[in-house]
Structure 1
Amino acid sequence: MRAAAEASVTADVEGSSVDDGAAASSTSATPTVTPTFRAFLRGRRAWIVIAAVLVLGALVVLVIQGGVRPPGPALGADNPGPVGSKALVEVLRDHGVTVTDARSFEVAIDLAGQGATVVLFDEQGLLDDDRLTELAGAADRLVVIAPGFGALEAIAPGVRHAGAASGPLDEVACELGAAERAGELSEGQDLLTIDDPAAEAGWQGCFADGDFGYAVAAGEGESGGELVLVAATTVFENGRIAEAGNAALAIGLAGAADDLVWYLPGPGDSDVATAPTMGELTPGWVSPVIVLLIVVVVVAGIWRGRRFGPLVVEQLPVHVPAGETSAGRARLYARSAARVHALDQLRVGALGRIAAMLRLPRSTAVDQVTDAAAQATGRDPSGVRRLLVDDVPSTDRELVDLAGELARLEGEVRRVLGAPASDHHRDDDDPDHRDHRDDPAGRRP
């Protein structure tokens, strides 16, 4: 294909026709180059590397986040996934407990005032101290699952986090009825500690892990209601509730009354007015550093952007041989397998030369040129049109054959009209031809 493309482009640029002998010698001298799959990959390896990095990064994020998270919120009352609590809720409903899945603080506080047990799981820490205190004061029985540091400070001062348990816990160590019926808890529990002032205020720990802490802490709220803190979510999860005494503890805590409020706070329950501003969250050194960076960028732009005077335009004597241009374009056609484009270049050159030999104006339509060429050579007009316009090569061999046919058609028109051959095909012994070939003016700037 390279040979055919080089022959076609050379004929177009230099304005000369290609005969059968030249096409055959070019074909035999230069092997065809058809792009391979390896060459395709090499040309697009940058995009392949970028795509591979993106895919690898997505896989790393999935691994870090533990894969695809099951549908529904953690400990959601209607979430059947491993981290949901639908199993516990359905068991309670089967035993006659009315379970309300509260979606707002107002609903939870209203039902808590009517004597319902409230189970609170504030995973994101959306409730502020005032709302936690209000909820603890309104509920006769409040069960807080996995309380955060702020929640402990607000409703259970003196109770602190103490890390994770070393394994299953079977030392009840308290007089809480639900804990005594459970007897033991499975692995995966977190611990809480109770300091001396809290213990004197009536707080007790259940399921001790030696001297390290307790999985459950129970005490009395400021308004006299019962307050139970469960350090981990394991007891209430669908995937772990059937282990050891988890189910007995969960049912005993949540099903103590006929009405249960299952409350998972949402974004609407947070107090926007008390939320810290961006300035409060930003360290004090950030603003001066940003200002300094802006000043540095402006100074660098002024320094590097200054000009020393007007630009000087200089005419450089650059000469590019037409043959080099033709060869370069031919290699591009060959590497991209652009057979149709290479043949189009041949056809454009042939049509222009045939029109010039037939004394047709440059604005003559292609159909008129093909009809005139057919009439001059005596060929079938449809065959001439297919050769000059319609035929599409599917292989390198077909491209070479069509190039040869174009050269033969042009030669026939020249012989019929008696037009002189172009300088490109003159004998090398012609002194005028030698002068023209060696003349530096033959190069174009």
Structure 2
Amino acid sequence: MTLVAPSITPTLRAGLRRRRAWIVIAAALVLGALVVLVVQGGIRAPGAVLGADNPAPPGSKALVEVLRSHGIDVTQARGIDAAVDAAQGGATVFLYDELALLDAERLDELASAVDRLVVAEPAFGTLEVLAPGVRLGGTATGALDEVACDVGAAERAGELSDGQRLLTVDDDAQAAGFTGCFRDGEFGYAVVSGPGRAGGELTLVAATTVFTNDRIDEAGNAALAIGLLGASDRLVWYLPGPGDADAATAPTLAELTPGWVSPVIVLLIAVVVAAGVWRGRRFGPLVVENLPVHVPAGETSEGRARLYARNAARGHAADQLRIGAIGRIAALLRLPRSSDVDTLAEAAAVATGRDAASVARLLVADVPAGDREFVELAGEHDRLERDVRGSIRPDRSLSSSKGAVAPTGSADDPRASTGSADDSDRPTGRRP
């Protein structure tokens, strides 16, 4: 029965199984990146939120075009100075500070320079500066239809769509003249109006829903937005950018870091140094020791062959076969180690009667394209080596043709007690 050796070439399934840990890690990283993008709002329509020239759903180009069709001169301000200069002469200023870039000083400068200021979705710091006593109150429970104030734009709107945010007005703010519009029960108001810093009018709209392209046509959103921003002939549209942030007043890393972080870092450094000294004392000078390990040459060759087969490295395996064959043939032909392959091929061709070019091609040039060609190349090397060995072996048939040679084992033959004359040419350990 012929035993067929199983193939050890790795399949696609085996390769995936060996790399499943890295595949799982890569999938987890990609999933985590997608979650971060979703949480941080990375997947959203292009353009700035409430951008005057942004036609995407979160933009406000529809509102700006309607205002311009009513004869309102809309100007986009690219900085705090440009907004203050453009607001001179009774213009309305629309402010949406999405990232809360304006500090108290700049907010106070802007509020003191304008007559009519409309702020969309004010942050906590903005409320502290512009409207003390007005606080964030969460999200409305639904659509709002209770105007609850005498502001003209709110009365003309009548109601607001759902998705509104709320503001609360405490007693001090009410005493200062702030009133709320579109009340959601006892939770708060969607719009708060009161006196501005320079004696003008300040309006706080808790959400951006009233001004966005995708929601402005719902309920009375458009009426409220046009009524608030179209109260004067000129409108300054101001969205603060990174250039409006004051780097001098920005908190330092030490101010942002909790107080316990520095002591913990110092403690960790001390622990690492102590662990290094403690474990480092165990290391002495390196000692070379000859371990009593014997690895048979056959196991080494078989292991290397399996590695070559697993990686389909037929070129490396063929090189090893050529190196072995060239070394053995050179030893049989008694050629020096400094001999090149051409000299070896010519000597082997003379000894075997082959063509020198074919021998050189067999020992150097032939490259197996597949497993079949590799096996055939190995067989050709073996046959060449046998032919060389057979060409240098003495011809025993000559002894039978010469009648003067005495029979082996006779009393007159001096080789009878020491073996035949050919014994000296036989390899050690192969005596008959």
The answer (yes or no) to whether the contact 1:35–1:337 under 8 Å persists in 2 is no
| Structure 2 Cα separation of the partners of residues 182 and 354 of structure 1 | 103
Matched, 1:136 2:132: no
Q: Deviations over 1:333-371 (max 9, x none)?
A: 121122222121111111122223333332222233234
Give 1:202's match in structure 2, choosing from 169, 177, 186.
Answer: 177
Cα deviation, residue 375, structure 1: 3.7
| Structure 2 Cα separation of the partners of residues 332 and 129 of structure 1 | 71
Q: Which structure has the larger Rg over C-alpha atoms?
A: 2
Tell me the equivalent position of 2:413: none
SS in 2 for 1:234: coil
Per the alignment, do residues 375 and 254 of structure 1 end up closer, same or farther by CA in structure 2, a change over 3 Å counting? farther
Per the alignment, do residues 324 and 115 of structure 1 end up closer, same or farther by CA in structure 2, a change over 3 Å counting? same
Matched, 1:354 2:323: no
| Structure 2 Cα separation of the partners of residues 215 and 228 of structure 1 | 11
Give 2:58's match in structure 1, choosing from 75, 83, 89.
Answer: 83
AA partner of residue 339 (structure 1) = R
Tell me the equivalent position of 1:185: 160
Tell me the equivalent position of 2:222: 247
- TM-score scaled to structure 2, two decimals? 0.86
SS in 1 for 2:93: strand
Cα deviation, residue 236, structure 1: 0.8
Tell me the equivalent position of 1:323: 298
Per the alignment, do residues 415 and 400 of structure 1 end up closer, same or farther by CA in structure 2, a change over 3 Å counting? same
Per the alignment, do residues 66 and 131 of structure 1 end up closer, same or farther by CA in structure 2, a change over 3 Å counting? closer
Tell me the equivalent position of 1:117: 92
Cα deviation, residue 28, structure 1: 4.9
Give 1:232's match in structure 2, choosing from 194, 202, 207.
Answer: 207
Number of equivalent positions: 401
Cα deviation, residue 45, structure 1: 2.9
Q: Which has the higher contact order (CA 8 A, sep 6+)?
A: 1
Cα deviation, residue 188, structure 1: 0.5
| Structure 2 Cα separation of the partners of residues 401 and 351 of structure 1 | 17
| Structure 2 Cα separation of the partners of residues 225 and 419 of structure 1 | 123
Q: CA RMSD in A?
A: 2.4
The answer (yes or no) to whether the contact 2:115–2:196 under 8 Å persists in 1 is no
Cα deviation, residue 163, structure 1: 0.8
SS in 2 for 1:144: strand
Give 1:392's match in structure 2, choosing from 363, 367, 379.
Answer: 367
SS in 1 for 2:182: strand
Give 2:429's match in structure 1, choosing from 412, 430, 433.
Answer: 433
Matched, 1:383 2:358: yes
AA partner of residue 319 (structure 1) = H
Cα deviation, residue 32, structure 1: 3.9
Listed as ranges, the gaps of 5+ residues in structure 1 are: 1-24, 421-429, 436-445
- TM-score scaled to structure 1, two decimals? 0.84
Per the alignment, do residues 40 and 145 of structure 1 end up closer, same or farther by CA in structure 2, a change over 3 Å counting? same
AA partner of residue 157 (structure 1) = P
SS in 1 for 2:76: strand
Matched, 1:334 2:330: no
Matched, 1:100 2:71: no
Give 2:241's match in structure 1, choosing from 222, 246, 266.
Answer: 266
| Structure 1 Cα separation of the partners of residues 306 and 355 of structure 2 | 34
SS in 2 for 1:236: coil
The answer (yes or no) to whether the contact 1:136–1:225 under 8 Å persists in 2 is no
Matched, 1:223 2:195: no
